Structure 1
Amino acid sequence: MTESLLHHRAEGPACGPPLLLGPSLGASYAVWGKIAPELSATHRVVRWDLPGHGGSAAGLIGPGATVGDLADLVLALADSLGLERFAYAGVSLGGAVGLHLALHHPQRVSSLAMICSSAHFNGSRPWEERAALVRGEGLAGLVETADARWFTPGFTVPELIADHRAADPEAYAACCDALAAFDLRERLPEIAVRTLLIAGRRDPATPPAHLREIADAVPDATLVELPGASHLAPAQCPEAVLTVLRAHLDGPAKRGMEVRREVLGDAHVDRAQSGQNAFTARYQDFISRYAWGEIWTDPTLDRRERSMITLTALVAHGHYDELAMHVRAARRNGLTPEEIGAVLLQTAVYCGVPAANSAFATAQRVLAEEDDPTG
C-alpha cells in the first residue's frame, strides 16, 4: 500500500460488479462494517478511508481542500484497482464525493447512492469555524459530542468513536474546508446516473429535507426515509440500509432480465437459467446486468438498430449458433426477412462471401422454422 493512495479494503469476487463505499467525516470505513460483507456476496466491494482517517495518510490533502480533491483520490484508487466503471455509495461527506463523481465523471459511475448526505452542508461558516476549532484545539471536544451527532440517544458504536478520536486533526480540518466550499444545488438537474437517496428521519446533520431537495432535482432519483435512523444510518440501521441498497444495485439486472426475455424469448432464457449452476451463476448475472441491463437498454440506439449490429458482429466472428438466436430476436425487434437478408448481404462485402454463405443458410433455416413451426 503506497501513501499516495487511499487506504481501503476490497471484498468479494474479483469478477463481481464493482461497488465503492465512501465514509462520513470522522469515521473510518468501519461505518460499512455490517453491510460490506453482505454486499460482497455479489459485488466487488471496495470501502475506503478519508485522508487522516483509519489507515489513509493525512498528507493526501491539505488546507483549502475540496470535495473534488477527494473525488480525484477515489478515482486514483479505482484506477489502481482496474475499475473503469463502478457503482458508488457514500455516507455524508462520502455521499458528497459520489455526487461530485456523478456530475463530473458520469462515464465512471454506473449508479449512485447518497446516504444521510446533501448537495450542500448549510453554508461555509459552520465548517470554517469547526476547522479553526480543530486546528487550534484538536478533536477531543468533537469526539465527546460524536454520539449526539451520529446516533439516536442510547446508541453508540465504540469502534467508530475510537476512529474519530484517532483521526488526524489537520486532515479532519481539511475535510471541513471541503464541506465549507461544497454546493452543487444549481447543477443537480445535470445528474444523469440512477440515484438512490436514503435519509434518516432523526438525522440532525443532514435531515430528510436535504435529500428531498436532491430527489426533486435529479431526474432519475429515488428517495427512501428510514424511521429512527440518525446520521450514520449504515452503522445504526444496517439491515434497513442493506435492503434498500440491494434493491437499488440489482435494478439493472432485473431490468436486463426483462429486456433479455423480450428480445430472446422466454424459452431461450428459461433454458439458460435452468442450466445455471454455481460455476456459471456470475456469468449469467453479468449478461443480464451489463449486456441487457445497460447496453440493450441504452436509448441511443433502438432495438432494430441493435439487432442489425448484432447480426453483423456474429457473422464477422462466425458465431452461427448465436446468429440463429439473434435472427429470431431480430424478428421480435421488428426486422422483416427482407431487412435481415439486406444485413447479411452487406456482410458479404465486409466479412467475406464464405461467412455470408453460412449466415444465409442459418438465417434461411430459422426463418423457415418460423413460417412452419412443425417443420
Structure 2
Amino acid sequence: MKLHYRVDGPDGAPLLVLGPSLGTTLDVWQPQLASLTREWRVLRYDLPGHGGSAPATAGMTVDDLADAVLDLAADGAADGAADGRFAVGGISLGGAVATAVAAREPGRVRSLVLCCTAARFGEPGPWRERAATVRTRGPATLAPVLASRWFTPGFDGGWVVAMLERVDAESYAVCCEALAECDLTGRLGAITAPTLVIAGADDPATPVGQAVVLAAGIPGALLKVIPGAAHLASVERAGDVTAAIGDHLAGSASWSAGMRTRREVLGDAHVDRAVAATTGFTADFQHLITRYAWDEIWNRPGLDRRTRSCVTLTALVAGGHLEELAMHVRAALRNGLTPDEIKEVLLQTAVYCGVPAANAAFAVAQRTLAETL
C-alpha cells in the first residue's frame, strides 16, 4: 500500500510523521506546520482514498496502515536521521496507526503524539452501520453530523469539513470497518517512546475517558486535556495543541539524546534490560534519568567521558552505592579507562572517602573486572 504524502521542514532535521483523522486529509495538520517545521522534518500522509492517496483495498486493517507508514518513515528517516529513528503522531484513526507503529517498532520510535484517539473505538456495530451509509450515500452526506462531533457549537471549521468532498466512499467505508475491528489495548504496554496523549474536553467521538485508557496503558505517558475543544482539538484549539506538542517533542529530543549516550556508556544489553523492566510505576523515573543524567549532564561539553567516569566512580564509593558501582566500572571501561586507572581512582577514594568504603569498592571492582575482561 502506497500513501500520498508531503514533506516540509529543513533537510537533516529529525523526522516527524503525522497522520490525519478519518474523513480529513494531511492538510488537517496545517495549523501546526509552521511551528513544527522549525525543528522537525514533517512528513504528513493521506489515508487511503483520502486526498491524494489511492483507494483502500477490502479488508484493510490498522496494522496494514501501520505497515504503510513504516515504509514512509523508512524513506523519510533516511534523509533526516542516521539511526533511522523518527517521531510519529496522529489524530483519531491516524493516532491509532501511530499507536500500532510505536507498539510494533519501539526501537525506531523516538516520540509519540496521540491526539483525540483511542485504543478501541467503541462497539463495532455503529462503525459498520456508518460504512453501509457511506457506500450508499457518500461521505459528504455525513458533513452536518461530523461537523457537530469535530467542533464545539459556534466554531467555524468549514475548511476541514470540506475535505470530505475529496474522500472516496468505498475507502471511507473500509476505514470504518478497520476502526470497528481495532483494539490496541493489550499492546499499549509495549510502547517505550515518550508519549503525549491529547484529549478534547468536549470530544464526543473519543471522550476523555478513552484518552485516560491510553495514558494509563502506555508507560510514562502524559495526558493533556484541551478545554473548549471537541474531536479535532488540533484545529479548534490550534495554539494550545501546538504548544503541547512542541513542548513534548523538545523533551523527547533530550530523551533520545540521553538514551543514545546511555547506550554508548552502559551498553545495549544493560539498557535493554532496564527498558524491558520498566513499568507504569517506574517509567517517569526512567525518563527523568535518561533526560537529565544522560543528556543534560553526561552530554555537557565541559568534561570528557573518561573524566565523568572518574567522578562517578568516586561519588558512588563516597555514597556507598555498591550496587551501582559495578555498572559504572563496566561503563568506565567502555569510556576508555584501563583497569590500572580504575585502581588509581579507588586508591584516591581510600584517602578522601575512607578505607572501609574503598575496601568494599575494591572488592566490587575486582569482581566486575574479572567478569568483564
* Superposed CA offset, 1:116-151 (max 9, x none): 000001121111111111112212321232210110
CA contact (8 A) 1:252 1:290 kept: no
Change (3 A) 1:255 1:65: closer
Distance 2:96 2:90 in 1: 7
TM-fit CA distance, 1:216: 1.8
Q: CA RMSD in A?
A: 3.1
Partner of 1:259: none
TM-fit CA distance, 1:247: 1.4
Distance 2:59 2:253 in 1: 41
Q: TM-score, normalised by structure 2?
A: 0.72
Distance 2:338 2:311 in 1: 20
Distance 2:182 2:333 in 1: 57
TM-fit CA distance, 1:10: 0.9
Distance 1:177 1:133 in 2: 12
2:197 partner amino acid: L
Partner of 1:121: 121
TM-fit CA distance, 1:157: 2.4
CA contact (8 A) 2:116 2:206 kept: yes
2:9 partner amino acid: G
Q: TM-score, normalised by structure 1?
A: 0.71
Q: Secondary structure at the match of 2:129?
A: helix
Q: Secondary structure at the match of 1:329?
A: helix
Partner of 2:27: 30
Partner of 1:67: 62
CA contact (8 A) 1:92 1:116 kept: yes
Change (3 A) 1:161 1:297: farther
1:17 counterpart (6, 10, 14): 14
Structure 2 alignment gaps of length 5 or more: 79-83, 272-300, 318-328, 352-373
TM-fit CA distance, 1:188: 2.4
Change (3 A) 1:239 1:295: farther
Partner of 1:310: none
Q: Single out whichever of 234-243 and 135-144 deviates more from structure 2.
A: 135-144
Partner of 1:325: 304
1:238 partner amino acid: A
Change (3 A) 1:131 1:221: same
Distance 2:333 2:122 in 1: 62
Task: List aligned pairs for 1:1-375, cutoff 5 A.
Answer: 5-58=2-55, 61-83=56-78, 84-254=84-254, 288=257, 291-292=260-261, 301=270, 325-334=304-313
1:200 partner amino acid: G
Distance 1:196 1:220 in 2: 9
Change (3 A) 1:198 1:329: same
Q: Secondary structure at the match of 1:250?
A: helix
Change (3 A) 1:99 1:334: same
